Amino acid sequence: MRILQKIALALTIIGALNWGMVGLFETDLVATLFNGSDSIISKIIYVIIAIAGIINVGLLLEPMDDYDNKKMHN
């Protein structure tokens, strides 16, 4: 499951950077690369990134035991 979460996190970061480009430069990189936001490939990529975001909800709910243990031992 850790590998899936890392892949999902990477895709979520890519999606966030794309939204940043939309906000700052009015350029949707996915739409630019795949012939518009209405193309089937663009829609598939948008859905994959949305699913990655949903998977990352698990990271939000996961206890931070490793962080807490390191903090206590320092």
Give tens-digit pLDDT for 15-68: 999 999 999 999 999 999 999 999 999 999 999 999 999 999 988 888 877 655
Supply the pTM of this predicted model: 0.77
Please give the average per-residue pLDDT across 3-12, as a whole number.
94
What is the predicted pLDDT for the residue at 58? 83
Residue-range definition of the domain harbouring residue 53? 2-73
DSSP class per residue in the chain: -HHHHHHHHHHHHHHHHHHHHHHHHS--HHHHHTTSTTSHHHHHHHHHHHHHHHHTHHHHHS--HHHHHHHHH-
Distance (Å, whole) CA 55 – CA 1: 10
pLDDT value at 2 more than 60 = yes
- What total number of domains does the chain contain? 1
Distance (Å, whole) CA 66 – CA 73: 11
